[in-house]
Structure 1
């Protein structure tokens, strides 16, 4: 039995009375999920609205514990935050295609233990890791077609029955190797394989399963991908020899400039000091020369005095008390003094 309920159906109904309780709320320009929806609904369609799946919407979704199928396609959802569908433990099918989703948080699908089909197609997802789906133990079908995926890192333990990857700008380099190995070794079915091709580096559109293995043949992109970091690293880290040469040149320039400035500042002081030193030296030489000449004159005069043969006249005082003539001019005063002494 299937029963379709409108937005305002609020009369009580036992969940065991019907196998399926569907609620159709599509194309009503809803900005939020209505609070008045019947709580025992098992199939809820909210497509073609303007729902952004904010915190208020997540709280209302948590009330639908019997929900097994949820359609939120063609809305305005941009981010899938953690625990967006946490309380929907019986949910089997989740369709959130044709939105503007660009970011999927790691725990966005936490609590969806029974989820089997997940449709994320026709969004704007550019980065995605298989760890996002590790909590989905019952997942069998994953639709990721027509997003912006270039790489998809996936673990070998990831189990699926069918996966859809067409319409993405896949770059078949070593970064896609784990996905290629998983597609070729697991039992998963790659749906629409003919359109799941590499956009670079191969000009021919070949399946990502058949893309060249980077271990056997290096593609031009791989050479770019592997050599570019090395070139960037060498550009960021200059060579040792050149760095030492540059450092020595800088040190030499700094020391030379410092010496030149120091010399220019100290040169006038050194010049005045040198001139004053020469002046003092000249004065000392003049005084020494004068002393030498003066001593030479004295010695020469003494030598001349001793070598001459002129007689030396020695005057002796005669202690005579008589009136003897001594050849001197008489002075009455001297005579009186001399007579008194006698």
Structure 2
């Protein structure tokens, strides 16, 4: 009995989308998944309070006038990727004032009406990659006030309005890879903007996390200057010391002639050592009356010849 009741409930849940008139699945958080259902129009039976809607991989026909999703003003995210939408007509999203994310990737878009994004004042993420856009003009981007992420990769962009660059400057992340830019005079402002943007991105990537260590180069320069200054001072001090030593050596008196000293002392007597000379210099000079008379008489007696009878 319980198994039969369980199967009945499952059958009702599985048949509910068909009974409700739409093939989409809706979860408890208000996300409606209608992807890949071969839809030509948005199911009218969807609840009006859904916050996210995925209509990718369908064959939707966009209206030429009026609002595309007039019954879903609470949408925060809308995925329209992989639908054939060559042109975005004016005010097609005008009632989606709460929308934050709009995905229009791979939709073969080649033309944006100047008022195509009218009403999207709270949009922060716009994905337009893998389309056929050739020109970006200012009016189409004036509606954005809170845009943070803009993806324009792999389009056919050849030129950009100079005023659009000023709006892009306020956008935190702009992706433009895979576009065949033509380098000419009219593109010079855009080329300058790209170079500045690339330099800012590179500097932000190479900087240390949490903003620490980004201003370390002044300390490195100061350290190098201090090291060079200390080296110069050491070199000057060494040169001054060497000059002082040379100057003092030139002031010394010349040493006495060793040859004359050898004759005075005789051939058999050795010259006094430097230590002995130093000691005599330290003791002072010897006066003439330093030798006692008795010692002098004794020396004279020893020098006189003695004859023995």
Alignment counterpart, residue 31 of structure 1, candidates 28, 35, 40: 40
Alignment counterpart, residue 145 of structure 1, candidates 137, 153, 164: 153
C-alpha deviations, 1:62-118, integer Å up to 9, x for none?
211110000000011111011010000000000011111111000100100100000
Q: Does 1:169 align with 2:177?
A: no
Question: Residues 198-237 of structure 1 correspond to what in structure 2 (within 5 A)?
Answer: none
Alignment counterpart, residue 69 of structure 2, candidates 61, 65, 68: 61
Instruction: Name 1:183's counterpart in structure 2.
Output: 194
C-alpha deviations, 1:212-247, integer Å up to 9, x for none?
xxxxxxxxxxxxxxxxxxxxxxxxxxxxxxxxxxxx
Deviation at 1:176, TM superposition (A): 1.5
Instruction: Name 1:105's counterpart in structure 2.
Output: 113
Does structure 2 retain, via aligned residues, the 8 Å contact 1:161–1:187? no
Alpha-carbon distance in structure 1 between the residues aligned to 2:20 and 2:201: 42
Question: Residues 13-92 of structure 1 correspond to what in structure 2 (within 5 A)?
Answer: 20-55=29-64, 59=67, 61-92=69-100
Alpha-carbon distance in structure 2 between the residues aligned to 1:139 and 1:161: 8
C-alpha deviations, 1:94-146, integer Å up to 9, x for none?
00111111110001001001000001111111122133112200111111111
Instruction: Name 2:205's counterpart in structure 1.
Output: none
Alpha-carbon distance in structure 1 between the residues aligned to 2:17 and 2:157: 39
User: Which runs of 5 or more residues in structure 2 are unaligned?
Assistant: 1-15, 22-27, 203-309
Instruction: Name 2:127's counterpart in structure 1.
Output: 119
SS of residue in 2 equivalent to 1:142: strand
SS of residue in 1 equivalent to 2:30: strand
Deviation at 1:190, TM superposition (A): 6.9
SS of residue in 1 equivalent to 2:159: coil
Q: When you count helix as a share of all residues, which structure comes out higher?
A: 2
Does structure 2 retain, via aligned residues, the 8 Å contact 1:52–1:78? no
Return the TM-score normalized by structure 1: 0.48
Return the TM-score normalized by structure 2: 0.53
User: Which runs of 5 or more residues in structure 1 are unaligned?
Assistant: 11-17, 192-342
